[in-house]
Homo-oligomer: A and B are copies of this chain.
Amino acid sequence: MSKPNMTAGAEPRRAQDKAPPAAPQRSEGEGLESKPLYRQVRETLIRRMVDGVWAPGEPLPSEIQLAAELGVSQGTVRKALDEMAAENIVVRRQGRGTFVARHDEERILFQFFKLVGDDGERHFPESRVLGIEKARGTAAECAALALPRNGRVLRIRRLRTFDGAPLIIETLTLPDQMFPGLADAPVPNNLYGLYAQRYGITVSRAREQLKAVGADADTAAMLQVAPGAPVLLVDRLAFSLDGTPVEWRVSSCLTSSFHYLSDLT
């Protein structure tokens, strides 16, 4: 047996005691290539977040409680939580506890909104929705969002301004099925907060592809620049906690007094 002390102090765990996303288990003799215990713990905790056991902003049980419940040592739970803290999906506060990360404005500003004023200040732009439509996705949209061919999507087009001046014009594409009723209510500026609160979908990671392009006629008009003016095109695909693509966003940004900040570490 690869985990000799398991039955020592506490009674042995039965995986079925809890929810289907069960307690982690060592593979004992099975042919499976077993992941480290702390990664199994991590996945158990993430699964619970996906399932809504703990909502954003809520505290997780303490390390000691989690360790007892899952039948592992506190150190193993700690390693899992430390890794999750490094991924920004959990926030740890000494003396208080460990909390599911929220998509508040601060997090958006530092993790997901890379456009910074040339003065170095991080501003959050206002935004105005220009239109919402439901449609069958194009081939590109369905491919990006891992939907079946001609799957239903939701498209949102909005203009984002700073100090009244146009800064970004963008089109977002979402899987329609994942966000029922989204088109029927006003769309807030902080969309990721809405995804989390209303739909229990947490955006944890995104991939952005940038190009410099000349503004087409429509884009130029919306941004109040001449057609062909240089524009930063940002193509973002956002993923939820379990790795599902959740949103495809193509933004045309003016960079005359803002820049895209990227830290290479």
Contact = CB atoms under 8 A, between A and B. Distances in A.
Interface in A97-127: 111-112, 114, 116
Given A229-B214, A230-B212, A207 B261 contact: yes
Contacts of A214: 229-230
A260 B207 contact: no
Chain A: interface residue count, which band?
20 to 34
10 contacts: A88-B265, A205-B264, A206-B263, A207-B261, A209-B259, A210-B255, A212-B230, A230-B230, A236-B264, A262-B262
Interface of A: 86-88, 111-112, 114, 116, 205-214, 228-233, 235-236, 253, 255, 259-265
A255 B205 contact: no
Nearest to A252: B212
B205 A265 contact: yes
A192 B158 CA distance: 42
Nearest to A112: B264
Contact of A255 (B114, B212, B253, B260): B212
Contact of A211 (B86, B88, B205, B255): B255
Please give me the 9 A-B residue pairs with the lowest Cβ-Cβ distance, nearest first. Answer: A212-B212, A212-B232, A210-B260, A211-B255, A230-B230, A206-B264, A212-B230, A209-B259, A208-B262
A88 B180 CA distance: 43
Nearest to A215: B230
Contacts of A212: 212-213, 230-233, 253, 255
Contacts of A231: 212, 230
A213 B256 CA distance: 8
Nearest to A229: B214
Contacts of A111: 264
B114 A211 contact: no
A253 B211 CA distance: 9
A112 to B, nearest CB: 6
A232 to B, nearest CB: 4
A211 B232 contact: yes
Contacts of A236: 264
A190 B208 CA distance: 26
A111 B264 CA distance: 7
Contact of A213 (B87, B210, B230, B253): B230
Contacts of A116: 209
